[in-house]
Amino acid sequence: MSNDKNAYPVADKSGRYGQFGGRYAPEVLMPALLELEQVFKDAKKDPVFKKQLAYYFKNLVGRPSPLLYCGNLSKKLGGAQIYLKNEGANLTGAHKINHCVGQILLAKRMGKKRIICETGAGQHGLATATVCASFGFECHVYMGARDVERQRPNVFWIEQLGGKVIPVQTGGARLKDAVNAALKDWITNVADSHYLLGSCVGPHPFPEINRYFQSVISREIKQQMKEATGHLPNYVIACVGGGSNAAGAFDAFLGEKSVELIGVEAGGQGKARGQNAARFSSGKIGVVEGFRSFWLLDEDGQVDDTHSISAGLDYAGVGPLHAYLHETGRVTYTSATDKQVLAAFQLLARHEGILPALESSHAVAEAVRLAPTLKPTQTIVVNLSGRAEKDIFIIAKNFADENFKEFMENWTIEANNHSLAENKNPEENNAKKKGQKRTSKGKGVAK
Ligand SMILES: Cc1ncc(COP(=O)(O)O)c(C=O)c1O
């Protein structure tokens, strides 16, 4: 690979970006990974596949996603002009749907019937359940038990879409544990299952595949900024969990020397061990979950606990492309604390009428810090990877919103009364339910 920091990095034959990446997978998965690599290579050259992808991007996802000039926020902060690339406007409310559409088309080409995935914030699980419902696949979503609790709205919607959510109790019951559980499932069921991995992580070719499908974000930004300002942006900022939205937002700018790229990790509650997910400031190089990259590891080389207010950034490892871009210096990686993230969330909500997901609020926080240091002729594009609906409980709790608390208490009382009323007369209720079931079946209504 070229040492020129402005060259466009592509994974080599063994899936490496410099010393990072690779395909450290159990033997039983190698045929599936090689098949996936070949199908992906063929699909990229196939005009029919490209047409299908463009169709679903436009008509299912709702692309192109809008680019909004944030006049109020820019004025308030002083300095640079801020633009938002709003991936939160996509179907399912985040960028994850981009690689889900791409991978489900690949799964169809491979003749697979069953989809497995992992999810942290639930956005990738939601997007996977959506494409599974749309394309007729069975859907199994592994999610850390802790994330099941804190991202309940997405769990509910995944189930409504027909997906099965499997809470993972092992380890820290977070994203890395969900990835391990999904990998175990794939090893057992590799013949008929595709692992629809949800970020630019995992063994090759997953990081390249997801980067390819997410690169639509930066291609659109390039065109939209040229239309809006006649120029490329000076800065592009994106949050970094595994790294898929950032890889997508940076991709078309990697070879553009004039564009500075900033990735923002979870600074959590501070620098202390276990209190953040800032892999570049305190991580070590290691091989975990099939790839070589920066990981938060303990003295014995075991994966450390992490913390972030946002489940989607609460991950101990970072995608290999980002590790490479960090090493070459092409991208600057920084972090935002939970406190800064909540302040940035509120600022964007109040001044622009946009509710960013907590993950995306990390990128907003960096723009809030950076903008006043720049000139009014300079521009920043913030990739808003998702919207805030899923975070309603976390945000309400952190802002100690008494009205929301009262609503929840009343809701719980009502729900308990409802089940008490049902239990009072179980025979009558059972008979009612049976009758309802018969009617539905008779009319050919779904379950
Ligand atoms: C809205 C949102 N943004 C960002 C992320 C982080 O993932 P990635 O770094 O792959 O974009 C997630 C992960 O769940 C997410 O839900």
Enumerate the domain spans of the chain. Answer: 16-60+95-210, 65-92+217-396, 401-442
| Token pair of 429 as six digits | 């209720």
Q: How far apart are CA 131 and CA 152, in angstroms?
A: 20
Q: Is the CB of 360 under 6 A from ligand 1?
A: yes
Q: SS3 for 150?
A: helix
- How far, in Å, from the CA of 307 to the mean position of ligand 1? 15
Closest by CA position to 209, among listed 294, 104, 120: 104
CB 336 within 8 A of CB 201: no
Q: How far apart are CA 211 and CA 221, in angstroms?
A: 15
Encode the chain (447 residues) as per-residue pLDDT tens digits. 555 776 789 999 999 999 999 999 999 999 999 999 999 999 999 999 999 999 999 999 999 999 999 999 999 999 999 999 999 999 999 999 999 999 999 999 999 999 999 999 899 999 999 999 999 999 999 999 999 998 999 999 999 999 999 999 999 999 999 999 999 999 999 999 999 999 999 999 999 999 999 999 999 999 999 999 999 999 999 999 999 999 999 999 999 999 999 999 999 999 999 999 999 999 999 999 999 999 999 999 999 999 999 999 999 999 999 999 999 999 999 999 999 999 999 999 999 999 999 999 999 999 999 999 999 999 999 999 999 999 999 999 999 999 999 999 998 898 888 877 766 666 666 665 555 443 333 333 322
Q: How far apart are CA 139 and CA 125, in angstroms?
A: 9
Provide the pLDDT for residue 418: 83
Residue whose Cα lies nearest atom 1 of ligand 1: it is 386
> In which region does residue 243 sit, left (phi positive, over 0), alpha (psi from -120 to 50) or beta (all else)?
left
Provide the pLDDT for residue 442: 32
Atom of ligand 1 nearest to the CA of 120: 14
Q: How far apart are CA 73 and CA 362, in angstroms?
A: 16
Q: SS3 for 337?
A: strand
Atom of ligand 1 nearest to the CA of 241: 9
- How far, in Å, from the CA of 131 to the mean position of ligand 1? 18
Q: Is the CB of 23 under 6 A from ligand 1?
A: no
What distances in angstroms separate CA 186 from CA 34, 202, 339, 373, one per listed residue? 15, 13, 38, 48
How far does Cα 347 stand from its chain's mean position?
23
- How far, in Å, from the CA of 293 to the mean position of ligand 1? 18
Q: SS3 for 164?
A: strand
Provide the pLDDT for residue 447: 26
How far does Cα 354 stand from its chain's mean position?
19
To which H or E segment does residue 115 belong?
Answer: strand 114-119
Q: Is the CB of 364 under 6 A from ligand 1?
A: no
Q: How far apart are CA 318 and CA 296, in angstroms?
A: 9
Q: Mention every residue, 6+ apart, whose C-beta is less than 8 A from residue 67.
A: 83, 84, 85, 86, 220, 221, 224, 225, 228, 381
Q: Is the CB of 120 under 6 A from ligand 1?
A: yes
- How far, in Å, from the CA of 414 to the mean position of ligand 1? 34
Rg over CA atoms, the chain? 22
Domains 16-60+95-210 and 65-92+217-396 share a fold: yes
Top mutation candidate among 146, 385, 390, 395 for ligand 1, by most atoms within 8 Å of CB: 385
Q: How far apart are CA 152 and CA 174, in angstroms?
A: 14
Q: What is the 3-state secondary structure (H, E, C) of 359-409?
A: HHHHHHHHHHHHHHHCCCCCEEEEEECEECHHHHHHHHHHCCCHHHHHHHH
CB 245 within 8 A of CB 214: yes
CATH of domain 65-92+217-396: 3.40.50.1100
Indicate the burial class of 428 (C-beta count within 10 angstroms; 0-12, 13-18, 19 or more).
exposed
Provide the pLDDT for residue 2: 55
Atom of ligand 1 nearest to the CA of 122: 14
| Token pair of 155 as six digits | 């769990």
- How far, in Å, from the CA of 96 to the mean position of ligand 1? 7
Q: How far apart are CA 198 and CA 118, in angstroms?
A: 7
Q: How far apart are CA 291 and CA 12, in angstroms?
A: 14
Residue whose Cα lies nearest atom 10 of ligand 1: it is 244
Q: How far apart are CA 318 and CA 295, in angstroms?
A: 7
Q: Is the CB of 201 under 6 A from ligand 1?
A: no
- How far, in Å, from the CA of 168 to the mean position of ligand 1? 19
Q: How far apart are CA 151 and CA 162, in angstroms?
A: 17
Provide the pLDDT for residue 421: 73
Residue whose Cα lies nearest atom 5 of ligand 1: it is 312
Provide the pLDDT for residue 423: 67
Helices 47-56 + 30-45 axis angle, to 10: 90
Give the residues across from 133 on adjacent strands: none
CB 175 within 8 A of CB 118: yes
| Token pair of 163 as six digits | 């997906």
CB 4 within 8 A of CB 175: no
Q: Is the CB of 306 under 6 A from ligand 1?
A: no
pTM to 2 decimal places: 0.93
Q: Is the CB of 357 under 6 A from ligand 1?
A: yes
Q: Is the CB of 210 under 6 A from ligand 1?
A: no
Give the residues across from 115 on adjacent strands: 139, 194
Provide the pLDDT for residue 439: 36
What distances in angstroms separate CA 140 from CA 314, 319, 374, one per listed residue? 21, 23, 47
CB 141 within 8 A of CB 75: no
Residue whose Cα lies nearest atom 14 of ligand 1: it is 312
Residue whose Cα lies nearest atom 7 of ligand 1: it is 241
- How far, in Å, from the CA of 359 to the mean position of ligand 1? 6
Active site residues: 70, 95
Top-level CATH class of 16-60+95-210? alpha beta
